[in-house]
Structure 1
Amino acid sequence: MERDAGGRTASALFAGFRALGLFSNDIPHVVRFNALKRRFYVTTCVGKSFHTYDVQKLSLVAVSNSLPQDICCMAADGRLVFAAYGNVFSAFARNKEVVHTFKGHKAEIHLLQPFGDHVISVDTDSILIIWHIYSEEEYLQLTFDKSVFKISAILHPSTYLNKILLGSEQGSLQLWNVKSNKLLYTFPGWKVGVTALQQAPAVDVVAVGLMSGQVIIHNIKFDETLMKFRQDWGPITSISFRTDGHPIMAAGSPCGHIGLWDLEDKKFINQMRNAHSTAIAGLTFLHREPLLVTNGADNALRVWIFDGPTGEGRLLRFRMGHSAPLTKIRYYGQNGQQILSASQDGTLQSFSTIHEKFNKSLGHGLINKKRVKRKGLQNTLSVRLPPITKFAAEEARESDWDGIIACHQGKLSCSTWNYQRSTIGAYFLKPKELKKDDITATAVDITSCGNFAVIGLSSGTVDVYNMQSGLHRGRFAHKGSVRGVAVDGLNQLTITTGSEGLLKFWNFKNKILIHSMSLDSSPNMMLLHRDSGILGLALDDFSISVLDIETRKIAFSPDGRWLISASMDCSIRTWDLPSGLIDSFLLDSAPLNVTMSPTGDFLATSHVDHLGIYLWSNISLYSVVSLRPLPTDYVPSVVMLPGTCQTEDVELSEETIEPSDEMIEYESPEQLNEQLVTLSLLPESRWKNLLNLDVIKKKNKPKEPPKVPKSAPFFIPTVPGLVPRYAVPEQNNDPQQSKVVNLGILAQKSDFFLKLEEGLVNNKYDAALNLLKELGPSGIETELRSLSPECGGSVEVMQSFLKMIGMMLDRKRDFELAQAYLALFLKLHLKMLPSEPKLLEEMTQVSSQVEENWIHLQSLFNQSMCILNYIKSALLQ
């Protein structure tokens, strides 16, 4: 995780975990064959790391460790995968770990070519370097003049020992012997830039793709052109040949189409239109199999099989994410394992936080599903709905009817979707009487029971529909465009807000307005936390208001619930509602959506111009985190977006175990509040049964007199108390036991007695109280009984004890101990207390203190009971 100059992690609450929904970008894929397992593997780039899939099932085999920068090109041989970033490239073993790093280029590397025990790299300045893989040393460096020969493609022709073929943006080609460092031959080319070079199944024959859209099949041994093909879709991006007995060549284009040519008949035989929605980054026919692997910048990896009579490939398997930036993400369900996401590409998809095999796409929204099926217009863009801008989902009745409601960009009608069937739903919900084209749906919500959908329109009306039947069930109204709608967890309240700056509370059942309040600014969006009834409002003046929907006042959650906000200044901020802003960090891309997992373990974000969903783990679940408010001059640090692989486990050192300077361990004060009382930390057994000791003694009285043991006891007798002390046996030299009681022994003063005497002089009773806390119930009774003059005490010491109780009540600490000690004292000495004026005066003062404290506590208890009764009555309504 990033750290700022002060050593504090850039975010105290969230650590980058991994990215979801990323499968491919504009870097061509790499296909490898594992001879041991007899399987093909395809590797695609996803930013700073790459994924490796088993082609047989397109199951994810490995995710590489992240590189410092985005990967700009890839290559592979039988053992290693090479990935370049900036002017450096690395070799990965086992599809994951960096084992070699090669540094020497001054410009960005854009071509890599494995070459036996060597690897060739070419940068944008047309400097070619040959490296020895295992020693990481340069073998040879060639420099080309960019104005004359700027390298744009590289190929190692089959059976050509120590030779490489280079293509240029100027159109010419050169054949080099890299062992002897000699230019063997220069091909004049076709005066058009070379974009792709590919070895044909025949020896000495190479396919050359040009900027003009031509594919030249050329014999490099005799410098003869065998045949030419042309496509009208722009430059050739990639070329591949079938090797399973069919002489077919495929070529990719920038608009996502693939052209297929028959090399025997020298003619164009078929086309695969819209194979990808963006340029074809790479295409590869698997060796001796009728399978074509393609990938593109539309975040899709596809495998096509050629088993039809027309020679056109049909889609066999695919891994696909969103091909355009996301518009809305929200967790689906209560287990925190699925995230629903809508995108500008018009699709609604579900991504699993557990494993990619649980991902699924709900598809594109179609304007008329039956008509499209009847006429076969699936690929026609005109029948697709615009992108989803907002949606709401509830899984309560997902097995019975549609559980997702969504509004679309510029559309009045809202579509329903079915999560279980992974398809668009049965209804398009819109008011029948409205026919204006300029009215659009702006906000949606679905009730927690899954029965009703609430839709807000730009005209100011809010309509309620039944999700099962699609029938209209009521209406609310605003003067301005509706910016947010929400229904509480019990279907009692509907909250709506409009651009006119009003927040309205409605009775959900009879549609009656209950309350209306003005906001400081026009609202932009609204979010309700149903479990707590806390409503968040983002206003156009860049402020956030938090309300309690029960009291309808600005409120703070009593249990410290967080509010997480994202803004276009690239920041994500976390607010602890009672204390304020507790965490803030910056990103290099502005966040568009944030959603917290229902289980609280992850925060998910989506960002401008990014196709993935980024997960951030909640540090507070597994580490001690300070929730103190940030200072006003706090400057947040920039945090990098997580990659597709999970953060590597780092062994904890002694430095990481120690708490940071900011993590000051909280120590509870001895007295929390002057208006409250503080209890002691002693167990109940020390004070709760002080008044029942006589009953306990009767119950514990043995039925038979104790028998004298014949031998010494196994356990050495101890004196009662918190600190164990051995009882000293009485030494009696007289062989005959004396039956006369020694009053001098009984009159011996205890430590507690002496501390009470000292308290009369210095008025300090902490030492006496601490001694009393160490004793058990029987010891406490013995000490208090011995305070009376009849048992060797004095009136002054009894007065000192009452002063100690008064001190405890005055400090409002150890409240239950003071009450228990005083109750036992009164029980033991109540008969003699009125006869002593000093004790009577002290008793009067202590009595007034007890009464004053109790009246104050009673008012607090009554207040709490009123609140609880109010909440109970509200829940029962």
Structure 2
Amino acid sequence: MADGGSSLFSGFRVLGLYSNHVPHALRYHLKHREFYVVTAAGRSFHTFNVNRLGIVAVSNCMSNDITCLAADRMLVFAASGRLVSAFARNKEVVMRYHGHQQDVRLLLPLGDQLISSDSGGDVIVWDVQGGDIYLRLHFDPNTFYVSAMMHPSTYLNKVLLGSSQGALQLWNIKTSKLLFTFKGWLAGVTVLQQSPAVDVVGVGTATGRIIIHNIRLDETLMSFMQDWGPVTSLAFRTDGPPVVASSSPQGHIAFWDLERRQLVTQQRHAHRTAVAAATFLQGEPLLVTNGADNAIKVWIFDQEGGGARLLRSRQGHSAPPTTIRHHGNDGKNILSAGQDGTLQSFSTVHERFNKNLGHGSINRRKEQKKKKGLTYKELCLPAIISFSSAVARQSDWDGIVACHRGRQATTTWNYQRCTMGAHHLQPPGGRRDSVATAVDITSCGNFAVIGSSCGRVDIYNLQSGLHRGCYGDEEKAHSSVVRGVATDTLNQLTLTAGFDWLLKFWRFKTKKQEEQLKLSSAPASMMLHRDSGMLALALDDFTVVVVDIETRRIVRKFAGHHGNINDMTFTPDGRWLVTVAMDCTIRTWDLPSGCLVDCFLVAMAPVGVSLSPTGDFLATAHIDSLGVYLWTNKSLCGPVGLHPLPADYQPAVETLPGVMPVEPEQEVTSEEADNAYQSAEQLGTELVTLSLLPESRWTSLLNLDAVKKRNKPAAPPVAPPTAPFFLPTLPGLTPRFSLPAATEGQSKMLIGSLLQTSEFCSVLEEAGRSGSSVDCPLRLLKDCGPAALSVELTCLTSEGGGANSLLLAFIHMIDSMLASGRDFDLAHAYLALFLRLHLRSLSQDAVAMAALLRLSGRLEVVWAELRASFDQSLCLLSYTKSALL
């Protein structure tokens, strides 16, 4: 029975994905006065600001991978398969264009129109706003396969099309007429780019030839030859120097001087793979490039001789990561080693904290004399297969040790300097055909224990890089390949597991074997949780055994995976063990109960897993994926109902973070709206609820005279002799007109005859007569300011235009508020002002005094309950503080 996915983890986001082979799109925001670069990353695209390369937005996902991008001042256009979509605000789809029968390969925005070309030979001109087809052209792919499109500057309604056969055609898309055909240069056209000069176009070909051509005169002005293969992109510099940049599939960029007609400089290995696109910023000496190596780079031209240097970059792995581990105790940094040979650190907080420790290289001191004869690839070390890190002494010396594929020597790395370390750790007199297979750094950060394929287990000092001995007789700890090494917290024990089915316990200092444990199968990997002393071993029979290093016995055995177990990780408290395997499942085992408590499937097999030391994020790396995926731990956010899963449990597929499925937008129905949670007005009879009004509305009610005196102007305003052109209004949410100021002789007449009963008095009298709810008069009081509230309470008596019955109704309103427990602060503030204004009148009314006595008893009861709750909380707080001290 399949469940609905994981009950313990939910997808959060993906780290380290920046770019792919799709050329980027550059746009300028007029309001922000800033350039933005848009790059594709699978089924969505990312938007970065160029000045900081900080991510601005991530678009919603499309149905398939994005094949091409384009952008204008308002929208971003992305093609996915046969569908073209327009995105607003770099995220939301506002229009979809249906009409292509083949996959769309090229996009070109042109004012209110969008031009798209597919692999079947169809070129469609769309109306951007309405989504209608304005024009459809069809070209035979055998004679004219459209490979590039460009709008020549100042050529109204004109589009220049380039073909893989070499010919160019200039079309008028308004009249649907072919204006001119350029014969070409016997090479397929790969790029068309407008130059800063009118009528001059840059043409890149599949043979590496770059042609600067005048399309009005059909005359070739100059040409260059690139030796690195086809031209993938062209970019003209617009800030002064007449330079054009051309990129190649090898990752190199060449810069050509158009005045001297020669090569100025070149930027080799600008990208590890083909350069997808290169674009100069308008009026700035900056070049933006992206490539299939998952990198975005900004180059600045401030070097002598016209050279460029790297200004800023965002780059991840150009090949899938194989091993990931959290670095540090805060859980904010993830170390990742990829098949591209690089070691990188990704921050879960912000991308500006990412670090690239670089690519491993051979010992430069030893190969200094031979370096001139070695190529770039020969100087690089193979990919890292396993590594270990420690933060205890990383500020003093190297804190990372890594094993490379097929090499005996291990390398050290410095996290703080973001460079490769100073030591290559290699056993003295060891077998040259052996390779390092396992590594671990002690908790103190002083020593590294390294296992090799010949059975050796050596220990090194990380400060000096010197060899400090090896384990076992005849310099062999195992008779076959060492699959895992680990050291405990206090450097008392060293544990090694080998292909000879043995787990051995060694004394760390004396290097003497104390005990060995026979396993049921050969171990594939090993993971030690130092705080709890639990050692997990993944065996070749797809099972996991957990060994207690104190009793040195197998305490748990988990079976359920149907493929090789690639990696394991413990939770910080050592209660759960998370395993990933080639059967595409991520399983969570509960060690106290020995049961499987969570299991879910992913689309791509996970090869690495790491749980943060704080337990908030689970990080996974997958086959054929360049990113590191983060999963949030639901148990930290609220109660999670975990129960043992049956042996025949069929897990459901969980979507990878950042790769959300495309779902049609649906409006929220009334049933869904009714299911939304709404907080109760009052949680319990023994509790009170305060109002949400600001304190200035009720704390100054007893000090209104002092406030008025302090705010009294130095000179009173002089009223105009004639009526104003507008009618003044009273403060409050309900618009009401104020009466004109009366003279002293007219005041008695206004009070006696013209003064009318306020809305509050009328509503309060109606509520007191019928015994209905006091919510309506209370709502009117909440809308009044302090001064208006004082006037309302003053007018309750007959002298103020009211009636003595209103005093009794107001007392009943306060009593009802205290009984319900709501607006507790307003009830006390209103009652205090009421007694200050009318206590003399109330003392002469026996009925009102009886109501006040009942209200006084209710006040005492409420305060007694609150005082008991306060005392209990203070007592518990004091006890907790004393226990902590």
TM over 0.5: yes
Pick the aligned partner of 1:366 from 361, 365, 372. Answer: 361
Would you say the 8 A contact 1:579–1:629 is kept in 2? Answer: no
| Cα deviation, residue 196, structure 1 | 0.8
| Cα deviation, residue 527, structure 1 | 0.7
Could you give the per-residue CA deviations for residues 28-65 of structure 1, whole angstroms, max 9, x where no partner exists? 11111222332222222222222222222323333323
Is structure 2 residue 183 aligned with structure 1 residue 183? no
Q: Counterparts of 1:647 and 1:19 in 2: how far apart (Å)?
A: 17
> What does 1:80-479 correspond to in 2, within 5 Å?
80-369=75-364, 380-434=376-430, 436-476=431-471, 477-479=477-479
> What does 1:399-798 correspond to in 2, within 5 Å?
399-434=395-430, 436-476=431-471, 477-556=477-556, 561-577=575-591, 578-643=593-658
Could you give the per-residue CA deviations for residues 377-418 of structure 1, whole angstroms, max 9, x where no partner exists? 798333332221111011112222221111111221211222
| Cα deviation, residue 647, structure 1 | 13
Would you say the 8 A contact 2:529–2:574 is kept in 1? Answer: no
Q: Counterparts of 2:661 and 2:328 in 1: how far apart (Å)?
A: 23
Aligned CA distance change for structure 1 residues 379 and 353 (closer, same or farther; 3 Å): farther
**Identity across the alignment (%):** 57
Could you give the per-residue CA deviations for residues 720-757 of structure 1, whole angstroms, max 9, x where no partner exists? xxxxxxxxxxxxxxxxxxxxxxxxxxxxxxxxxxxxxx
Would you say the 8 A contact 1:63–1:645 is kept in 2? Answer: no
Could you give the per-residue CA deviations for residues 793-815 of structure 1, whole angstroms, max 9, x where no partner exists? xxxxxxxxxxxxxxxxxxxxxxx
Would you say the 8 A contact 1:579–1:628 is kept in 2? Answer: no
Moved more, 11-20 or 482-491: 11-20
Would you say the 8 A contact 1:560–1:576 is kept in 2? Answer: no
Could you give the per-residue CA deviations for residues 765-794 of structure 1, whole angstroms, max 9, x where no partner exists? xxxxxxxxxxxxxxxxxxxxxxxxxxxxxx
| Cα deviation, residue 264, structure 1 | 1.9
Q: Counterparts of 1:72 and 1:148 in 2: how far apart (Å)?
A: 24
Q: Counterparts of 1:87 and 1:656 in 2: how far apart (Å)?
A: 39
Would you say the 8 A contact 2:63–2:661 is kept in 1? Answer: no
Would you say the 8 A contact 1:331–1:595 is kept in 2? Answer: yes
Helix, strand or coil at the partner of 1:638: coil
| Cα deviation, residue 276, structure 1 | 0.9
Pick the aligned partner of 2:69 from 74, 78, 97. Answer: 74
Q: Counterparts of 2:239 and 2:95 in 1: how far apart (Å)?
A: 36
TM-score by length of 2: 0.70
| Cα deviation, residue 585, structure 1 | 2.4
The one-letter code sitting in structure 2 at the alignment partner of 1:606 is: A
| Cα deviation, residue 316, structure 1 | 1.8
| Cα deviation, residue 593, structure 1 | 0.6
The one-letter code sitting in structure 2 at the alignment partner of 1:525 is: S
Q: Counterparts of 1:266 and 1:425 in 2: how far apart (Å)?
A: 45
Helix, strand or coil at the partner of 1:620: helix
Would you say the 8 A contact 2:61–2:662 is kept in 1? Answer: no
Q: Counterparts of 2:170 and 2:857 in 1: how far apart (Å)?
A: 99
| Cα deviation, residue 297, structure 1 | 0.6
| Cα deviation, residue 358, structure 1 | 0.6
Q: Counterparts of 1:84 and 1:236 in 2: how far apart (Å)?
A: 23
The one-letter code sitting in structure 2 at the alignment partner of 1:447 is: T
Would you say the 8 A contact 1:24–1:301 is kept in 2? Answer: yes
Would you say the 8 A contact 1:18–1:646 is kept in 2? Answer: no
Q: Counterparts of 1:369 and 1:266 in 2: how far apart (Å)?
A: 39
The one-letter code sitting in structure 1 at the alignment partner of 2:383 is: P
Would you say the 8 A contact 2:61–2:661 is kept in 1? Answer: no
Helix, strand or coil at the partner of 1:277: coil
Would you say the 8 A contact 1:604–1:614 is kept in 2? Answer: yes
Q: Counterparts of 1:562 and 1:74 in 2: how far apart (Å)?
A: 44
Could you give the per-residue CA deviations for residues 346-393 of structure 1, whole angstroms, max 9, x where no partner exists? 221111001001111122223234578999979833333222111101
Aligned CA distance change for structure 1 residues 183 and 347 (closer, same or farther; 3 Å): same
Would you say the 8 A contact 1:18–1:647 is kept in 2? Answer: no
Could you give the per-residue CA deviations for residues 641-696 of structure 1, whole angstroms, max 9, x where no partner exists? 222899999999589989xxxxxxxxxxxxxxxxxxxxxxxxxxxxxxxxxxxxxx
| Cα deviation, residue 310, structure 1 | 2.1
Could you give the per-residue CA deviations for residues 697-735 of structure 1, whole angstroms, max 9, x where no partner exists? xxxxxxxxxxxxxx99x999xxxxxxxxxxxxxxxxxxx
Q: Counterparts of 1:621 and 1:138 in 2: how far apart (Å)?
A: 52
Aligned CA distance change for structure 1 residues 599 and 654 (closer, same or farther; 3 Å): farther
Q: Counterparts of 2:441 and 2:315 in 1: how far apart (Å)?
A: 28
Aligned CA distance change for structure 1 residues 201 and 645 (closer, same or farther; 3 Å): farther
Helix, strand or coil at the partner of 2:635: helix
Q: Counterparts of 1:615 and 1:15 in 2: how far apart (Å)?
A: 9
| Cα deviation, residue 24, structure 1 | 1.3
Aligned CA distance change for structure 1 residues 468 and 657 (closer, same or farther; 3 Å): farther
| Cα deviation, residue 252, structure 1 | 0.9
| Cα deviation, residue 241, structure 1 | 0.8
Would you say the 8 A contact 1:17–1:647 is kept in 2? Answer: no
Q: Counterparts of 2:276 and 2:404 in 1: how far apart (Å)?
A: 31
- For structure 2, the residue ranges without an aligned partner over 5 or more in a row are 472-476, 557-569, 678-852, 859-885
Q: Counterparts of 1:264 and 1:372 in 2: how far apart (Å)?
A: 42
Helix, strand or coil at the partner of 1:639: coil
Q: Counterparts of 2:469 and 2:326 in 1: how far apart (Å)?
A: 28
The one-letter code sitting in structure 2 at the alignment partner of 1:433 is: G
The one-letter code sitting in structure 1 at the alignment partner of 2:13 is: R
| Alignment size in residue pairs | 657
Helix, strand or coil at the partner of 2:125: strand
Aligned CA distance change for structure 1 residues 655 and 483 (closer, same or farther; 3 Å): farther
The one-letter code sitting in structure 1 at the alignment partner of 2:575 is: R
Aligned CA distance change for structure 1 residues 294 and 640 (closer, same or farther; 3 Å): same
The one-letter code sitting in structure 1 at the alignment partner of 2:415 is: Y
Look up the match of 2:883. Answer: none
Q: Counterparts of 1:379 and 1:303 in 2: how far apart (Å)?
A: 26
Would you say the 8 A contact 1:294–1:302 is kept in 2? Answer: yes
**Greater Rg by CA:** 1
Helix, strand or coil at the partner of 1:627: coil
The one-letter code sitting in structure 2 at the alignment partner of 1:384 is: C
Q: Counterparts of 1:14 and 1:566 in 2: how far apart (Å)?
A: 14
Helix, strand or coil at the partner of 1:216: strand
**RMSD between aligned alpha carbons?**
2.9
Q: Counterparts of 1:579 and 1:482 in 2: how far apart (Å)?
A: 28
Moved more, 195-204 or 580-589: 580-589
Look up the match of 1:685. Answer: none
The one-letter code sitting in structure 1 at the alignment partner of 2:115 is: I
| Cα deviation, residue 311, structure 1 | 2.1
Q: Counterparts of 1:169 and 1:587 in 2: how far apart (Å)?
A: 40
| Cα deviation, residue 75, structure 1 | 0.4
Q: Counterparts of 1:555 and 1:655 in 2: how far apart (Å)?
A: 50
Q: Counterparts of 1:643 and 1:183 in 2: how far apart (Å)?
A: 45
- For structure 1, the residue ranges without an aligned partner over 5 or more in a row are 659-710, 717-877
Would you say the 8 A contact 1:25–1:46 is kept in 2? Answer: yes
